[in-house]
Chain A
Amino acid sequence: MNNLVILIPIALVLGLLALGAFLWTLRSGQYEDLDGAAERILHDDDSKPQ
């Protein structure tokens, strides 16, 4: 049973991390243009020189 005391918190922390990551992607607007994101990967990366 001692394993549980370690394993359950680990599972919960990992789950919370994933939840946090998802909420972060949501907040930073990564779901606002799903069609565009799918196409952008095909573009050559020749952004203007800084």
Chain B
Amino acid sequence: MTDLAATGVPRDLSAADDSDALTDFIVAAPDGTFGIHLLVEGVHCGGCVRKIESALADDATVVDARVNLSTRRMTAHWSGAAAHARTIVNTVESLGFRAVPFDPDVAVSEHEKQGRELLRTMAVAGFAAGNVMLLSVSVWSGHAQDMDEATRSLMHWISALIALPAVAYAGRPFFRSALRAVAARRINMDVPITLAVVLAAGMSLMQTIDGARHAYFDSSISLLFFLLIGRYLDHRARGIVRRSAERLLALGREPAVVIGEDGRQQTVAASRIRPGMALLVATGSRFPADGVVEDGESEVDTSLITGETLPQVVMTGDTVLAGSLNIGSTLVVRAGAAGDNTVLAEIVRLVESAEQKRSRYVALADRLATAYAPAVHGLAAGTFLGWIILGGLAWQPSLLIAVAVLIVTCPCALGLAVPAVQVVASGRLMQAGILLKNATALERLAEVDTIVFDKTGTLTEGRPELLDRATIADEDLNRAASLAAASGHPLARALVRAAGEAVTPEQGVEEVAGRGLEHGETRLGSRVWCGIAGDGDDDAMELWLRSAGHEPVRFRFRDRAREDAADTIAALLGKGYAVELLSGDRAATVSAMATELGIETWQARQSPADKFSRIEALAADGRMVLFVGDGLNDAPALAAAHASMSPGSAADISQNAADVVFQGGHLGPVTMALGVASSARKLVRQNFALSLGYNMIAVPLAIAGLVTPLVAALAMSASSLTVVGNALRLGWKKP
């Protein structure tokens, strides 16, 4: 390739030879090999991983290639020329996957570092908690069996040696957060946790120095261990959501073919497209940027962006959106907005801002905690002062009693009440193919009072099917299908599916965008194209076949509602939920579907932003909205709704923006998830009542100075067991 920079071509285009869209992402290692990180779309199972890895293993220059199934990223290293990256990407794409380069330094965020820190601290806390607990059990049984003072003191010293460094290390996530909160003059749950842990450890050290009978090392370190487990699980759930936005951005990074002023064609990264450039978009590829068609006529599948079932005809002067698919013929497009200004980037922004808003949702346990923390602090401080002033004790024993109050009230059962129910409920939903993706999803589902459905792909199967198959002669169908095999139009595909394997594709079929197909005398397409008089149907999903010597044949299509859609809607309405339909499709189609399913409120022609603002408007009315949708265009609404569900067939981004993903071709999971969520809420409340009941008994004892570490441990585990046992009842109930 010539050095274009030297010939005065602008810098944006100089990076234009075939591998240059990748150049920015290639990392050279000191040993002369190169590496690249790719996001791979479409990897769903071990089989896909194997296909990619073994195909690359056959390439002699590839040193290693490894696909990560959890993150759908791959890393490859190779020797030889840097430009070999293009061959690697092509190999992956030839297997039917899309591969997009990414920069791990940007993508491997603070978030993943935090995850590793939580795992490390959890391991250290777990090790320390286990060993200190062993020693504590000996001390407790020693109280009953006359353990001598020297041995007990030794045990306490060893406990101190294990627990103190572990607390200092494993407590850092809590300490940092508590310090930040206090610096901002707020109180969060980490403040009482930090106080309890630090005071318990500090007091225990003083007790140990004094050679006293009791120490609380076990309480402080095991409290940290359990809380860290909860933090880590929560962190993982967040990580899955975060990756969705990243992958969506990758969709916009399709390389583009730019036509230079001298007429030369060059492949560049989408990020290098500037407004005003002329782009060549071939059949079957996505538009890399929003733009205006300059030359050509084609059909564009915008279902990913707008949710419309049928492709739209575009001609010179029409606007096309980034991310939509060109299924007709090659177009020349003058780029308008690119990168951050496209509709696709706008969707990403909407999703991100909505997700931030949702992450502000405070779980019931945390809401209780905000009331609980000041109460606990007050109680402990009151106990301390009470014993000094009224009880006439010295400050050390008073502080010890106050610490006992802090430990007894520490929200162990309270912290278990929600997770235990969550685990059982999500296990039950999992068996039914319903995947909960968000820790607070169950709680939010239980609060829902309005359900908004998307149409295409959610209430319907998402693809047109031939109607009245029985009334059409096999010969007509086969004739039509042999023409249709040449087209990527959804209606033509439906014909081919309906005809089955008997179709022999015709050669030399010509396609005219927006009209139909032609082969000699035979035409397949719209009513006008076939020259048939009369008006089309209101929902216009039809094809006509006209050929010499035959009566014209009409094929009607419909995007059928899912089998149990009507039943599900009826059941939801029966339970008192308000149900709405929001669709990007045309009014006639949407209205027909709404009538069929008995939905009274519906809106058609909704853009992603319209759906998003409709959800916001409902929320502003004080409604708790559950949004069920599947398309890319639904992603912002999914993220904005109070709770959201997506079928397993949905676009990746939508699955990731949704709280709940359900498998299978039915809508029954919507009713089931709502049912399980409300029984889970009932159980959580019972559990709170139970653990508060325990506190009401244990706290007065602690204030009275009667709680030893043994009593505290017994009370804690007994209340925890009751709470877990109660949660298990959810699993026993019949669905």
List the interface of chain A (C-beta within 8 A of B): 1, 4, 8, 11-12, 15-16, 18-19, 22-23, 26, 31-36, 38-40, 42-43, 46-48
B120 near A23: Cβ-Cβ < 8 Å: yes
Q: A36-B68, A48-B57 are contacts. A8–B158 as well, Cβ < 8 Å? A: yes
Digit string of B41-65 for contact with A (CB within 8 Å is 1, else 0)? 0000111011000100110000000
For the complex formed, measure the closest distance between the CB of B355 and the CB atoms of chain A, giving whole angstroms.
23
For the complex formed, measure the closest distance between the CB of A7 and the CB atoms of chain B, giving whole angstroms.
10
Cross-chain pairs A/B with CB under 8 angstroms, 6 sampled:
A11-B134, A22-B123, A32-B70, A36-B49, A39-B47, A43-B50
User: Which residue in chain B gives the minimum CB-CB distance to A33?
Assistant: B68
Q: Bound complex: CA of A11 vs CA of B120, how far in Å?
A: 21
For the complex formed, measure the closest distance between the CB of B58 and the CB atoms of chain A, giving whole angstroms.
7
B119 near A26: Cβ-Cβ < 8 Å: yes
B123 near A23: Cβ-Cβ < 8 Å: yes
A47 near B70: Cβ-Cβ < 8 Å: no
For the complex formed, measure the closest distance between the CB of B124 and the CB atoms of chain A, giving whole angstroms.
7
Q: Does B87 contact A (CB under 8 A)?
A: no
User: Which residue in chain B gives the minimum CB-CB distance to A39?
Assistant: B46
Q: Does B613 contact A (CB under 8 A)?
A: no
Q: Which 8 A-B pairs have the closest CB atoms?
A: A39-B46, A36-B69, A33-B68, A19-B127, A35-B69, A35-B70, A48-B57, A33-B70
Q: Bound complex: CA of A1 vs CA of B153, how far in Å?
A: 13
Q: Bound complex: CA of A35 vs CA of B70, how far in Å?
A: 6
Pick the most buried of B49, B58, B124: most chain A CB atoms within 10 A of its CB.
Answer: B49
A26 near B120: Cβ-Cβ < 8 Å: yes
For the complex formed, measure the closest distance between the CB of B11 and the CB atoms of chain A, giving whole angstroms.
37
B contact residues around A38 at 8 Å (CB): 46
For the complex formed, measure the closest distance between the CB of A10 and the CB atoms of chain B, giving whole angstroms.
12
B68 near A39: Cβ-Cβ < 8 Å: no
With beta carbons under 8 angstroms apart, the residue of B49, B54, B70, B120 that contacts A40 is B49
A contact residues around B135 at 8 Å (CB): 8
Q: Bound complex: CA of A29 vs CA of B461, how far in Å?
A: 40
Q: Bound complex: CA of A36 vs CA of B46, how far in Å?
A: 6
With beta carbons under 8 angstroms apart, the residue of B46, B47, B71, B116 that contacts A26 is B116
List the interface of chain B (C-beta within 8 A of A): 45-47, 49-50, 54, 57-58, 67-71, 116, 119-120, 123-124, 127, 130-131, 134-135, 151, 154, 158, 162
For the complex formed, measure the closest distance between the CB of B44 and the CB atoms of chain A, giving whole angstroms.
10
Give me 5 other A-B pairs in contact (C-beta within 8 A), A4-B154, A8-B158, A43-B46 excluded. A33-B71, A35-B70, A36-B49, A36-B67, A38-B46
Pick the most buried of A12, A38, A47: most chain B CB atoms within 10 A of its CB.
Answer: A12
Q: Bound complex: CA of A48 vs CA of B65, how far in Å?
A: 12
For the complex formed, measure the closest distance between the CB of A36 and the CB atoms of chain B, giving whole angstroms.
3
B contact residues around A35 at 8 Å (CB): 69-70
Q: Bound complex: CA of A4 vs CA of B157, how far in Å?
A: 14
Q: Bound complex: CA of A14 vs CA of B622, how far in Å?
A: 57
Q: Bound complex: CA of A12 vs CA of B132, how far in Å?
A: 10
Q: Bound complex: CA of A25 vs CA of B277, how far in Å?
A: 50
B contact residues around A48 at 8 Å (CB): 57-58
How many A-B pairs have beta carbons closer than 8 Å: the answer is: 56
User: Which residue in chain B gives the minimum CB-CB distance to A40?
Assistant: B46
User: Which residue in chain A gives the minimum CB-CB distance to B154?
Assistant: A4
A contact residues around B54 at 8 Å (CB): 46
With beta carbons under 8 angstroms apart, the residue of B70, B127, B134 that contacts A36 is B70
With beta carbons under 8 angstroms apart, the residue of A4, A23, A34, A40 that contacts B151 is A4
A19 near B124: Cβ-Cβ < 8 Å: yes
A contact residues around B68 at 8 Å (CB): 32-33, 36
For the complex formed, measure the closest distance between the CB of A25 and the CB atoms of chain B, giving whole angstroms.
10
A contact residues around B131 at 8 Å (CB): 11-12, 15
Q: Bound complex: CA of A42 vs CA of B45, how far in Å?
A: 12
Q: A16-B127, A26-B120, A31-B119 are contacts. A39–B151 as well, Cβ < 8 Å? A: no
Q: Bound complex: CA of A45 vs CA of B47, how far in Å?
A: 14
A18 near B71: Cβ-Cβ < 8 Å: no
A contact residues around B49 at 8 Å (CB): 36, 39-40
With beta carbons under 8 angstroms apart, the residue of A8, A16, A39, A46 that contacts B45 is A39
A12 near B162: Cβ-Cβ < 8 Å: yes
A contact residues around B151 at 8 Å (CB): 1, 4
Q: Bound complex: CA of A4 vs CA of B139, how far in Å?
A: 13
A contact residues around B158 at 8 Å (CB): 8
User: Which residue in chain B gives the minimum CB-CB distance to A19?
Assistant: B127
B69 near A47: Cβ-Cβ < 8 Å: no
A contact residues around B162 at 8 Å (CB): 12
Q: Bound complex: CA of A47 vs CA of B50, how far in Å?
A: 11
Pick the most buried of B45, B70, B71, B154: most chain A CB atoms within 10 A of its CB.
Answer: B70
Q: Bound complex: CA of A45 vs CA of B369, how far in Å?
A: 52
A contact residues around B124 at 8 Å (CB): 19
For the complex formed, measure the closest distance between the CB of B322 and the CB atoms of chain A, giving whole angstroms.
31
Q: Bound complex: CA of A27 vs CA of B67, how far in Å?
A: 19
User: Which residue in chain A gives the minimum CB-CB distance to B147?
Assistant: A1
For the complex formed, measure the closest distance between the CB of B140 and the CB atoms of chain A, giving whole angstroms.
16
Q: Bound complex: CA of A47 vs CA of B63, how far in Å?
A: 12
B69 near A39: Cβ-Cβ < 8 Å: yes
Q: Bound complex: CA of A42 vs CA of B57, how far in Å?
A: 18
A contact residues around B120 at 8 Å (CB): 23, 26
Pick the most buried of A36, A38, A47: most chain B CB atoms within 10 A of its CB.
Answer: A36
For the complex formed, measure the closest distance between the CB of A49 and the CB atoms of chain B, giving whole angstroms.
10
Q: Bound complex: CA of A8 vs CA of B151, how far in Å?
A: 12
Q: A1-B151, A18-B127 are contacts. A32–B58 as well, Cβ < 8 Å? A: no
User: Which residue in chain A gives the minimum CB-CB distance to B54?
Assistant: A46
User: Which residue in chain A gives the minimum CB-CB distance to B49?
Assistant: A36
B contact residues around A26 at 8 Å (CB): 116, 119-120, 123
Q: A33-B70, A36-B69 are contacts. A15–B127 as well, Cβ < 8 Å? A: yes
Q: A1-B151, A4-B151, A40-B46 are contacts. A34–B70 as well, Cβ < 8 Å? A: yes
For the complex formed, measure the closest distance between the CB of A15 and the CB atoms of chain B, giving whole angstroms.
5
Q: Bound complex: CA of A18 vs CA of B154, how far in Å?
A: 24
For the complex formed, measure the closest distance between the CB of B245 and the CB atoms of chain A, giving whole angstroms.
20
For the complex formed, measure the closest distance between the CB of A8 and the CB atoms of chain B, giving whole angstroms.
6
For the complex formed, measure the closest distance between the CB of B43 and the CB atoms of chain A, giving whole angstroms.
9
User: Which residue in chain B gives the minimum CB-CB distance to A31?
Assistant: B119
Q: Bound complex: CA of A34 vs CA of B46, how far in Å?
A: 11
Q: Bound complex: CA of A12 vs CA of B58, how far in Å?
A: 48
For the complex formed, measure the closest distance between the CB of B130 and the CB atoms of chain A, giving whole angstroms.
7
For the complex formed, measure the closest distance between the CB of B581 and the CB atoms of chain A, giving whole angstroms.
35
B contact residues around A23 at 8 Å (CB): 120, 123
B123 near A19: Cβ-Cβ < 8 Å: yes
B contact residues around A46 at 8 Å (CB): 54
For the complex formed, measure the closest distance between the CB of B556 and the CB atoms of chain A, giving whole angstroms.
43
Q: Bound complex: CA of A16 vs CA of B128, how far in Å?
A: 9
Q: Bound complex: CA of A19 vs CA of B131, how far in Å?
A: 12
B contact residues around A15 at 8 Å (CB): 127, 130-131
Q: Bound complex: CA of A25 vs CA of B23, how far in Å?
A: 33
For the complex formed, measure the closest distance between the CB of A16 and the CB atoms of chain B, giving whole angstroms.
7
Q: Bound complex: CA of A35 vs CA of B45, how far in Å?
A: 9
B contact residues around A43 at 8 Å (CB): 46, 50
B contact residues around A11 at 8 Å (CB): 131, 134
A42 near B46: Cβ-Cβ < 8 Å: yes
Q: Bound complex: CA of A23 vs CA of B126, how far in Å?
A: 12
